[in-house]
Amino acid sequence: MVPQFTPCQDPSLHQRRRQPSFVELQSIPWLSLLSPGERVRAEAELVVADAKSGDFICRFGKPVTYWFGVVEGLLKMSADNAQGMTMTFTGVPPGGWFGEGTALKREPYRYNIQALRNSVVAGLPLDTFHWLLDHSIGFNRFVMNQLNERLGQFIAAREIDRMNNPDLRVARSLAALFNPVLYPGVGDILRITQQELAYLVGLSRQRVNEALNTLQVQAMIRIEYGGLRVLDLAALRSSIQ
């Protein structure tokens, strides 16, 4: 049975925005690529908000106002098909920034982004995002790398969605969350519960537990308190049926 997730009904996340702390700014990977002047402007415009479990950061059909990133916590990106079924594209762990394609085109969101646990989310206003594209070579390279990695990620997500082998689904989904380009804040340890992983993979928590134990026996991961340590990322990525 696929686990169900109930959205939070608290007041708007936008209303809870605040200025980022020094430590939170240090966790934003692209700031170090800017010139001093560009960085001053970006830091002045950046905001963060404390999202509660179930909060929607982005909703299908809503206009884009910010380019978002995860300072801490875990989000999921998903969309509903014509039959009312939800397809989860990926999780977004710390260090991940998303929605650059939507921000570039200034189009409504074609997916939902929801917090799987209490998270800190950063937002760069859309006009500042475009100003940096117009003025910063370093920022352009970062966004270009993001788009390139994202394309590969979504192709992989389509493949994962069609896999019937639960162990393989879990292995490939974990490999996607350990992407060092898209999610530099993860490192070797992913802070995730088995229930959260079940939401992302579309399996029951019990079946995810079985898959994780199989992957641990195969020396691909090690299950630790509060998370998972990757031991062989290449093996996770190349797992075959």
Summarize pLDDT for 189-215 with one digit per residue, the tens.
888 999 999 988 888 999 999 999 999
* Other C-beta atoms lying within 10 Å of the C-beta of residue 187: 14
Average pLDDT for the chain: 87
Indicate the class that CATH gives domain 165-238.
mainly alpha
For the chain, the structural domain boundaries read 14-157, 165-238
Q: pLDDT band at residue 161, thresholds of 50, 70 and 90?
A: low
Higher pLDDT, 241 or 169: 169
Q: 55 and 110 in contact (C-beta within 8 Å)?
A: no
Q: pLDDT band at residue 188, thresholds of 50, 70 and 90?
A: confident
What is the pLDDT at residue 185? 84
CATH architecture under which domain 14-157 falls:
Sandwich (2.60)
**Average pLDDT, stretch 215-219?**
94
Q: 16 and 50 in contact (C-beta within 8 Å)?
A: yes
What's the whole-model pTM score? 0.82
Q: Name every residue whose Cβ is closer than 8 Å to that of residue 63 and which is 6 or more positions away in sequence.
A: 108
Q: 31 and 42 in contact (C-beta within 8 Å)?
A: yes
Higher pLDDT, 21 or 176: 21
Summarize pLDDT for 100-140 with one digit per residue, the tens.
999 999 999 999 999 999 999 999 999 999 999 999 999 99
What is the pLDDT at residue 9? 46
